[in-house]
Amino acid sequence: MVKLDFCHACLFLNLGSLFFMKKTILSSLYLFISMFALAQTNSTSVYATISPDSAQTLITYHYLDPNFVILDVRTEGEYDSKHIENGVNLNYYLSTFNDILDTLVKTKVYLIHCASGGRSGNVFNSMQTKGFENVYNLDGGLNAWENAGKPTLTSVLPILLSVSDTIVEFQNTGLSQNDFHEITITNYGNDTLDFTSITNLSLTEFSSDFNLSARLTGLMDYTFRVYYSPIDLQNDSVIFDIESSNRTLHYVLKGHATATNIEEHSLNHLSVYPNPSSGIIRIKNDQVFLSELFSINGEVLYTSSIALDYEQIDMTNYQPGIYLLKINSEEGVVYKKIILQ
């Protein structure tokens, strides 16, 4: 039989406690690394009820992540009195609660909570049934969060973030073809986001259907399109800014066209002037030619009916922007970009 004196027994207990603590910390660390890794994998869904400490780690890990939402399902009064920073309120008792829940992006990562865990537990189960991929439930709700010494706020603030890549590239787009990319932005914060301005693309090969009157709550994404309509074989690029009441997003739009099924030559004695123009375009060539004028969307706006060596096109009633001039002569075909100011 092995005998231990008091000091040795204490040492044994302390070492045992240290070993247990170390094992617990490593196990927890491994658990959260695994959960985070799984959360980034589209093919694997993650559902977990986690402690306040783990929830704070999750929030820190996903700070300013456009694909992360803190969903507070308490009433508006409860929310206004105090909430987790950037937590977004969706009242569990609303008659439209489930309808709104169905509109949310199912691929985002959600941390849900209520006051003590009852309401969020029901929502947690519902979101699994609805096919949300990554859902975490705060065990004990905001009460447990505060009891653990975690901070709360009363302020609200919209935060504009881009879900899509901020460099948008169009490759191998044929002349006069209209290609597009979709861009998604989101409000990461918890106040309504309004837009104030966007870059004017009217004198470029790019255009957009962005709606300046759109308003985003903290649960909303907004998707719009950017179009590219090249009219020559030059590389194109422009910085496209979206300015909101909170911040500005910067996108770099790049495009390159290939002359698919179009034979292009430079005419030796061709003059197109003035360009840019305020309305009147003059074309002069040593050979007779025919010309066609297109909008940036490929619509035919003008066609000459008689071949001449000099021509004048009146564009005073056209909108400012970029147009494509096609000239046919004995030397070949050439396309010219016309800028109308």
Who wins on pLDDT, 264 or 225? 225
For residue 33, pLDDT beyond 70: no
For residue 143, pLDDT beyond 80: yes
Q: What is the pTM of this model?
A: 0.69
For residue 124, pLDDT beyond 70: yes
Assign residue 260 a region: left if phi > 0, alpha if psi is -120 to 50, beta otherwise?
beta
Band of residue 267 on the pLDDT scale cut at 50, 70, 90 = low
Calpha distance 178→170 (Å, rounded): 10
Asked if 158 contacts 193 with a C-beta cutoff of 8 angstroms, the reply is yes
Both tokens of 69, joined, read: 């939402």
Band of residue 276 on the pLDDT scale cut at 50, 70, 90 = confident
Band of residue 310 on the pLDDT scale cut at 50, 70, 90 = confident
Peptide bond into 274 cis (omega under 30): yes
Asked if 229 contacts 177 with a C-beta cutoff of 8 angstroms, the reply is yes
- Mean residue pLDDT of the chain comes to 84
Question: Domains of the chain, with CATH numbers?
Answer: 45-147 (3.40.250.10), 160-258 (2.60.40.10), 271-340 (2.60.40.3080)
* Top-ranked range on mean pLDDT: pick from 73-82, 248-257, 313-322: 73-82
Mean pLDDT of 196-202: 93
Q: What pLDDT is stored for residue 27 in this prediction?
A: 40
For residue 262, pLDDT beyond 70: no
Mean pLDDT of 275-287: 85
Share of the chain above pLDDT 90, in %: 54
For residue 34, pLDDT beyond 90: no
Both tokens of 84, joined, read: 């987790």
Asked if 119 contacts 92 with a C-beta cutoff of 8 angstroms, the reply is yes
Q: What pLDDT is stored for residue 323 in this prediction?
A: 84
For residue 261, pLDDT beyond 60: no
For residue 6, pLDDT beyond 50: no
pLDDT digits (tens, 9 = 90+) for 47-56: 999 999 999 9
Residue appearing with tokens 């999750």: 58
Burial class of residue 266, CB neighbours in 10 A (0-12, 13-18, 19+): exposed
Both tokens of 77, joined, read: 């009064």
For residue 182, pLDDT beyond 80: yes
